[in-house]
Structure 1
Amino acid sequence: MQEIEQSRLGGDGPRIRAETWFALAIASFIITISAGAFFALWVFDAGSDALMVQRAQAFTPFGAAMLAIVTFCTVAWRGVLNTTQLQQTGEQLNQSRRQNDAKDDENLAKLLMDGTTLIGEDKETHILAGVAALSAVVSSPKGTFAPQAMDILGGVVRSTYNLADKRDLFEAAKSAMDLGVELKRYGTRDLVIDVSGVQDKNGVAINGLRSIKYVGARFRRWQFEQFKKPSSVQFNSCRFTDIREVKVDIRQSGCTFVRCKIKSFTELTISYNEFEDCDFSGAVLRRPPRTGRRGVPFANLSGKGNFFRDGEAPQGSDDIDWTTILTVAPKTNNDDEPTLPLDDRVEA
């Protein structure tokens, strides 16, 4: 009777175990030897050469078939045996891998705790060592605790932001977070950088957290372009200078844009912010104002040096005469300079 077991690997179908194939191979071998001996006696007992040849020819197909059965059972036994050995080896490797992964997670957890403890120390050298430990957690191949490390580093960045005596700590933590972003590791916390009450309002792009909000910061073009994911950043009462391709939306409130190239805007977002000497050439107006409304939409843009190039009025509404709101400036091939000197502008 054949013993059947469920295959552990390679599908849900039944298969015969290696021990069964081995028993079949031995049994078929014994049967073949016995049958061969019997037929050999039968052939040699023919009495004449002609009859012996006839009997040998008659037995040959049966002998070949029996040898084929023995060979088949032997090959099947070796195949199943090798498969079982491979499965056992694979299971051992998987078990070893799981043990190594558990050990790696344990080491990373310890490194995270050690780094967090060192960051709470008073000495700057200890804090830097803590930042280095968290950086190692962030850059680990598995990244199991990378989000937690990024969150803690974000706290260091917030507490040292724009503090001259903490500059080294800030740069170390920011570099560790930038490394995490390169490896696509992100934190889970929301961060607020409020510099409205300090003298140094210089804006520095922080990346790697779920969201970040700046209050009272100032950004120039090269600083603003350091943001890897602008959609996750909000600005309140900030000042932007010489920024290219600005999408004015709900992420900015109470902000001032100076010499910026506006890419898109709405009436509501324009009313929430101030604009000076900004280029609206070809800008896209999202959600045009309702027809028949009172007053002139975007009137707060007038008289502040805001303009568009001749023939490149803002797009999105045919009901607005932009020449009554913005200055019309002559075309230029210099895309790096968003504004014109005051005496070169052409008033509508």
Structure 2
Amino acid sequence: MSVDGDPVSETPTIKEGTWEAIALASAVMLIVWMFIAAGWIILAGEIELAQKRTAVAAAFVTAGAAVVTFCTVIWRGKINERQTNTARDQLRATEEANWAKLLQDGAALVFDSQTGKQSAGLASLEAVVQTQHRLFAKQAMNLIADYLEQVHPTDHRSPLAIAAIDALGSGHSLGFQAARSLKFEGPNKDNKRFAPRSIWVPILGVRLVRYYGGRMDTQYPHFNEACRHSTFEKVYFSKASIKDMSDFESCFFRNCKIEEIGYMIQENTFQSCDFSGAVNFGIESIDDMPDLRPRNNFYWSDRPPIGVTEIDWASRIISVPSQFSNVFAGERLMTKEGRDFIADEVLNLQRHSN
């Protein structure tokens, strides 16, 4: 396969020069045969024999002419093929030169101090990615990832940061990945009260992303896909569906749907999260499970967490009767009675603890 992805034929073929030689040789042989045939006919003597020899010679001449025509057509076809290939190679070389210049211009513009030039640089690099040329597209992806990490290390709310993330996602959808591991750190990394001043947007199209502090925008459809190659420390999440807890440390989850319970459950903080039907992968006994009830965490009584280990989940998470729920647009919502039930449960816990 060629560098740009075109298949290379391995079937042996007769070259243009060989067909040229065959065509010329067959033409010469035909001329020689015509002279021989003419002499053979003249030496016949009798008219009847001459006529017979003429018919035989004509048949051979016709066959020879067909062979010459066939070889000539093939030879001309090879010439046309060569000319077409040359034109295609010249066009490809021109295109690659243009792509290389576009890549070079994009690299120069994207790191300029002026936002207008940065925007033009991102557009140029994304255009290179869209060419799907393996070499240039990967280089463009690397440049976009470098830009995002170097120019937007503490926040992703700006239009340019989002444009860069969208460009990486576009490349990811085409099968490209930047050979980069990115790190983003919010100013609230060491703030245990989780007052995030940085907003992150989930990123696709890179090897790994590490987030420290800040708040993740979880409303993107590719949020969980991006989480599979991301790690989080002291990051704030709200209204998210969390499918895998293995890469979260000291994070804060509010109003989230937790779909997995593992050993990292003890390393994070949960507020008003729904653990209904969560799969238990790491809690082997009740002692391994922190008490999540004081922070209003719950599950519906008809859908407790599931797993091989038998655990009294109600002693760690509030079990809310299923009649306190309504289904709207396929989503299970809690009624006011359900919220009051949780508030009463938390109040009773506080009374018992005092």
Flag whether TM exceeds 0.5 (same fold): yes
* 1:194 equivalent in structure 2: 186
- Give the drift of 1:233: 2.3
1:307 pairs with one of 278, 283, 298: 298
Q: Of 194, 210, 213, which residue of structure 1 is paired with 2:210?
A: 213
1:49-70, CA deviations, whole angstroms, 9 ceiling, x for partnerless residues?
Answer: xxx2x7745763x335412431
Partners of 1:269 and 1:95 in 2: how far apart?
56
Matches within 5 A, 1:123-272: 126-140=114-128, 141=131, 142=133, 143-144=136-137, 145-155=139-149, 157-159=151-153, 161=155, 170-184=158-172, 186-189=177-180, 190-196=182-188, 201-207=197-203, 208-219=205-216, 221-222=218-219, 229-244=226-241, 246-266=242-262, 268-272=263-267
Measure, in 2, the Cα distance between the counterparts of 1:72 and 1:177. 64
The corresponding residue for 2:41 is 39
Alpha-carbon spacing, 1:13–1:130, altered in 2? closer, same or farther (3 Å): closer
Decide whether aligned partners of structure 1 residues 92 and 302 sit closer, same or farther in structure 2, where only a CA change above 3 A counts. Answer: same
User: Residues 152, 135 of structure 1: CA spacing in aligned structure 2 closer, same or farther, 3 A cutoff?
Assistant: farther
1:21 corresponds in structure 2 to: 23
Query: 1-side partners of 2:163 and 2:104: how far apart?
Result: 22
**How many aligned residue pairs are there?**
313
For residues 270 and 10 of structure 1, do their structure 2 counterparts lie closer, same or farther at Cα, with a shift above 3 Å needed? closer
The amino acid that maps onto 1:175 is: A
Paired residue type of 2:229: S
Partner of 1:312: helix, strand, or coil? coil
Note the C-alpha offset of 1:147.
2.0
Residue by residue over 1:185-210, the C-alpha shift from the partner in whole angstroms, topping out at 9 and shown as x without a partner, is: 54333122323169752523142443
Residue aligned with 1:210, SS: strand
Instruction: Give the share of equivalent positions with the same residue, in percent.
Output: 17
Q: 2:340 corresponds to which residue?
A: 343
Deviation at 1:105, TM superposition (A): 4.3
Larger Rg: 1 or 2?
A: 1
Task: Give the secondary-structure state (helix, strand or coil) at the position aligned to 2:232.
Answer: strand
- SS of the residue aligned with 2:152? helix
Aligned mates of 1:220, 1:80 — CA distance in 2: 64
Q: Distance in 2 between matches of 1:116 and 1:337?
A: 45
Who is 1:3 aligned against?
none
* CA separation of 1:187 and 1:298: change in aligned 2, threshold 3 A: same
Question: 1:153 and 1:254 mapped to 2: Cα distance?
Answer: 28
Q: Contact 1:307 / 1:326 at 8 angstroms: preserved in 2?
A: yes
Matches within 5 A, 1:52-63: 52=48, 56-57=51-52, 60=55, 62-63=56-57
